[in-house]
């Protein structure tokens, strides 16, 4: 019965798509604002993500100015921040707010929603071969919840006490006590509401992504023929689906602590020997456990889509099959599983039982194995490849570079004993900005440059793209690499001004170097913005398959239509990475092109498949009959 239903829905969608093309012109609002078309929603996510990214980066430049020249007065800061920037210097409380919101924006709004939202929406239906997402309406809701969430978060800049300032992790008691610091007031409440809306958005999106990948692949698109992007998006969605609800629970309890006098996260706090709280009984460490149960998978929610994108980009532009497709899939699966059981490595110094810390350390270090598999597979794919250095390829190679240099320091930080020295220092800042910040944003840039022709029907300028890559690459290393040395020397993160502490005075020159490099990185992003927005209208027109890529999205017309393919959805005949096959003249072999004399996977299962099924049946017969034999023998013995 259910099969019929599925066929029905497919037929209905098909019919709909035709209806739209021929008879019905959509209004502006239906087409550009409350669109249910996955390609438009993906553009909405991308542009919102880019705007949020500019805001987040702008904030980081402001506090970098403060760190490099703490005694200097910048009229710009006063005109931007008003009372928080008196005499051109950032107010210390506001410095914390900027750091907090910079982290929140970058982690959640740019690298989660901006990255996953954009490319899952664009590529899942196109690369799996379906007309749209399983539920286009929920997909639209997902974007609008994200949009409202962004507005709520940014609105906290306009409240009297300023935005949340207890760090992007909003640890209690700083975040639970409304009077702890200015940002702990309305700012933190808005932060929590923004995150709850964000979780709803992530949930609506995630349910859709998983369902579409599992249920709506076209004929012949078996799981082992999925492009690695889709595998990455699928696993990312699963991670989000299972970890965001825990943050929802944590946020709910925090909201009650703040507003209704409960004490889930508040234990005894004494000021001058007098209990400062009207009630107590909870534990701030509970919040940390709940938060990091999301927080660690979140790292991979950010990173995995970037890894998937770079797999496709590297394979396409090296004109080689990705090295070890199944190893890539298995390592993604391994990373996904491990990401759920390592959250304790963020909490080594909370007074955790050393035995527990050791266990967390082991599982953390095991993540190095699947990560190394991925790294070496990237390198092996590049090895002797016929490489085309498109901007997308440059950024994908950049990702591999950051994944190595940032990943290696993860081995230091994952060590429970070393972490006592290095936690909360600039070493940590350097580590996560390289391994998840830079490498994920490079993956995102790779995706933007690679799929820009698919999104907007035009090409981005290649020269500007390469320039953007080199400037960003150099500035990212100049910004984050020196931070390792600062961290090892004990410079703590989240400090407002180092010139007051003589021991850290020797790092002032390094701070200036980092800020200058960060400003250079900012200029590089202006190049990108110009290239991106200019090319929407004035870029060179794209052809149908500009990169000579194999995957299904390039079989659609350049002009977007509802339902993606005007006629039948193409059938898939082979895996996504058939580049440079010796038996072919062209150096690529699209998934949707029927070959000569190859077995048609869907319509006639190959003899090998049938014999395999037979073997399995035989094996199970042997298995069960031996059980029956043993059982009867026992019964006899007893009798």
Partner 1 sequence: MADLQTAPISSTWAGGRSPFNVSYGKLMMWIFLLSDAFTFSSLLIGYGAIRFSYAGSSTPWPSPDLVFNHFPFMHGVHLPLLFVSLMTFILIFSSVTMVLAVEAGQRKSNKEVAKYMLLTILGGVAFLSCQAWEWTQFINEGGRLDSNMFNFTPEAYEKAKNLKLGDHVHFTAADHIPGPVPFASLFFIVTGFHGFHVFSGVIINLVIYLNVLRGTYARRGHYEMIEKVGLYWHFVDLVWVFVFTFYYLI
Q: How many CB atoms are located within 10 Å of the residue 13 CB?
A: 17
Q: How far is the CB of 21 from partner 1 (least distance, A)?
A: 23
Indicate the helix (H) or strand (E) that contains 138: helix 136-155
List all residues 6 or more positions away from 304 whose beta carbon is below 8 Å from its beta carbon: 232, 235, 236, 239, 332, 335, 336
CA distance 472 to 386: 25
Pick from 214, 25, 242, 39: nearest CA to 136: 39
Inter-residue contact 127 to 227 (CB < 8 Å): yes
Based on CB atoms, which residue is closest to partner 1, 1 or 29? Answer: 1
DSSP 3-state assignment of 584?
Answer: coil
Largest CA distance in the chain: 97
Based on CB atoms, which residue is closest to partner 1, 131 or 450? Answer: 131
Q: How far is the CB of 238 from partner 1 (least distance, A)?
A: 9
Inter-residue contact 325 to 333 (CB < 8 Å): no
Indicate the helix (H) or strand (E) that contains 271: strand 270-271
- CA 617 vs. chain centroid, Å, equals 42
For the range 526-531, what are the long-range contacts, defined as Cβ-Cβ under 8 Å and sequence gap of 24 or more?
527/464, 527/467, 527/468, 527/471, 528/445, 528/464, 528/468, 528/472, 529/50, 529/54, 530/464, 531/460, 531/461, 531/464, 531/465, 531/468
Pick from 14, 7, 3: nearest CA to 569: 14
Q: How far is the CB of 266 from partner 1 (least distance, A)?
A: 9
In the block, tokens 């400062």 appear at 276
Task: Provide the total of helices (H) and of strands (E) in the chain, helices listed first.
Answer: 20, 2
Q: How far is the CB of 358 from partner 1 (least distance, A)?
A: 21
CA-to-CA separations, 235 to 330, 426, 606, in angstroms, rounded: 11, 31, 30
Q: What is the DSSP letter of 458?
A: B
Q: How far is the CB of 420 from partner 1 (least distance, A)?
A: 24
DSSP 3-state assignment of 36?
Answer: coil
Based on CB atoms, which residue is closest to partner 1, 106 or 290? Answer: 290
Based on CB atoms, which residue is closest to partner 1, 138 or 512? Answer: 138
Q: What is the DSSP letter of 424?
A: T
Based on CB atoms, which residue is closest to partner 1, 248 or 318? Answer: 248
Region of 563 on the Ramachandran plot (φ > 0 left; ψ -120 to 50 alpha; else beta)? left
In the block, tokens 């960003």 appear at 472
The two three-digit tokens of residue 189, written as one number: 């409440």
Q: How far is the CB of 135 from partner 1 (least distance, A)?
A: 7
Based on CB atoms, which residue is closest to partner 1, 288 or 381? Answer: 288
Based on CB atoms, which residue is closest to partner 1, 526 or 619? Answer: 619
CA distance 182 to 178: 8
Catalog residues that contact partner 1 under the rule CB under 8 A: 1-3, 5-6, 9, 128-129, 134-135, 138, 203, 206-208, 210-212, 214-223, 225, 241-246, 248-250, 252-253, 256, 260-264, 278-283, 286, 289-290, 293, 571-572, 601-602, 605, 609-610, 612-613
Based on CB atoms, which residue is closest to partner 1, 63 or 145? Answer: 145
Q: How far is the CB of 352 from partner 1 (least distance, A)?
A: 13
Q: How far is the CB of 594 from partner 1 (least distance, A)?
A: 15
- CA 604 vs. chain centroid, Å, equals 39
Strands, E, within 13-131: which ranges? none
Burial (0-12, 13-18, 19+ Cβ within 10 Å), 286: middle
DSSP 3-state assignment of 541?
Answer: strand
Based on CB atoms, which residue is closest to partner 1, 261 or 354? Answer: 261
Based on CB atoms, which residue is closest to partner 1, 243 or 371? Answer: 243
Based on CB atoms, which residue is closest to partner 1, 522 or 570? Answer: 570
Q: How far is the CB of 128 from partner 1 (least distance, A)?
A: 8
Based on CB atoms, which residue is closest to partner 1, 424 or 613? Answer: 613
Q: How far is the CB of 307 from partner 1 (least distance, A)?
A: 23
Based on CB atoms, which residue is closest to partner 1, 339 or 375? Answer: 339
Based on CB atoms, which residue is closest to partner 1, 338 or 569? Answer: 569
Q: How far is the CB of 616 from partner 1 (least distance, A)?
A: 9
CA distance 480 to 433: 7
Q: How far is the CB of 294 from partner 1 (least distance, A)?
A: 9
Q: How far is the CB of 411 from partner 1 (least distance, A)?
A: 29
Whether the upstream peptide bond of residue 551 has omega within 30° of 0, thus cis, is no
Based on CB atoms, which residue is closest to partner 1, 259 or 626? Answer: 259
CA distance 227 to 128: 8
Q: How far is the CB of 92 from partner 1 (least distance, A)?
A: 32
Q: How far is the CB of 342 from partner 1 (least distance, A)?
A: 17
CA distance 2 to 475: 55
């Amino acid at each position: 019965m259910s099969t019929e239903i599925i066929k029905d829905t497919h037929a209905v969608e098909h019919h709909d798509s035709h209806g739209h093309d021929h008879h019905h012109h959509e209004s502006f609002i239906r087409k550009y604002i409350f669109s249910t078309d996955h390609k438009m929603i993906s553009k909405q996510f991308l542009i919102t993500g880019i705007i949020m990214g500019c805001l987040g980066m702008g904030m980081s430049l402001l506090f970098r100015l403060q760190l490099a020249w703490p005694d200097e007065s910048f009229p710009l800061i006063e005109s931007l921040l008003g009372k928080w920037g008196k005499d051109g210097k950032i107010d210390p409380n506001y410095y914390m707010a900027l750091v907090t919101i910079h982290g929140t924006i970058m982690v959640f709004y740019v690298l989660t929603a901006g990255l996953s939202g954009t490319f899952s929406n664009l590529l899942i239906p196109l690369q799996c071969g379906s007309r749209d997402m399983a539920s286009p309406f929920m997909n639209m809701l997902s974007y609008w919840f994200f949009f409202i969430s962004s507005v709520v978060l940014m609105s906290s800049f306009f409240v009297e006490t300023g935005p949340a300032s207890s760090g992007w992790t909003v640890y209690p008691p700083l975040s639970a006590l409304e009077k702890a610091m200015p940002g702990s007031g309305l700012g933190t409440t808005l932060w929590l509401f923004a995150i709850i809306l964000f979780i709803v958005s992530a949930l609506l999106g995630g349910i859709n992504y998983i369902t579409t990948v599992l249920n709506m692949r076209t004929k012949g698109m078996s799981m082992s023929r999925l492009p690695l992007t889709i595998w990455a998006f699928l696993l990312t969605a699963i991670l989000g689906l299972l970890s965001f609800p825990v943050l929802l629970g944590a946020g709910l309890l925090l909201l009650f602590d703040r507003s209704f006098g409960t004490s889930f996260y508040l234990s005894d706090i004494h000021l001058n020997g007098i209990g400062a709280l009207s009630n107590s009984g909870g534990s701030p460490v509970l919040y940390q456990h709940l938060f990091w149960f999301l927080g660690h998978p979140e790292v991979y929610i950010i990173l995995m889509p970037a890894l998937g994108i770079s797999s496709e980009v590297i394979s396409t532009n090296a004109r080689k099959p990705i090295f070890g497709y199944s190893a890539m899939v298995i390592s993604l699966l391994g990373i996904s599983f491990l990401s759920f059981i390592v959250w304790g490595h963020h909490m080594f110094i909370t007074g955790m039982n050393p035995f527990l810390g050791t266990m967390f350390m082991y599982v953390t270090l095991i993540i190095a194995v699947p990560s190394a598999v991925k790294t070496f597979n990237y390198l092996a794919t590049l090895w002797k490849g016929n490489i085309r250095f498109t901007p997308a390829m440059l950024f994908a190679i950049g990702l591999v570079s950051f994944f190595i240099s940032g990943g290696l320091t993860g081995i230091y930080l994952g060590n429970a004993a070393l972490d006592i020295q290095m936690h909360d220092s600039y070493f940590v800042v350097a580590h996560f900005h390289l391994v998840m910040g830079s490498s994920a944003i490079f993956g995102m840039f790779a995706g933007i440059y690679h799929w820009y022709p698919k999104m907007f029907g035009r090409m981005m300028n290649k020269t500007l793209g390469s320039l953007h890559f080199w400037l960003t690459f150099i500035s990212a290393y100049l910004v984050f690499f020196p931070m390792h040395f600062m961290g090892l020397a004990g410079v703590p993160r989240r400090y407002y001004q180092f010139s007051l502490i003589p021991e850290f005075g020797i790092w002032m020159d390094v701070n200036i170097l980092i800020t200058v490099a960060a400003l250079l990185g900012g200029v590089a992003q202006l190049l990108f913005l110009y290239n991106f927005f200019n090319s929407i209208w004035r870029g060179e027109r794209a052809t149908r398959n500009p990169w000579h890529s194999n995957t299904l999205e390039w079989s659609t017309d350049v002009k977007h239509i509802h339902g993606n393919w005007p006629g039948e959805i193409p059938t898939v005949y082979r895996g996504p990475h058939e580049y440079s096959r010796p038996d072919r003249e062209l150096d690529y072999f699209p998934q949707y092109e029927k070959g000569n004399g190859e077995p048609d996977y869907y319509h006639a299962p190959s003899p090998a498949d049938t014999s395999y099924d037979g073997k399995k049946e035989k094996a199970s017969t042997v298995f069960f009959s031996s059980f029956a034999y043993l059982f009867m023998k026992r019964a006899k013995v007893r009798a």
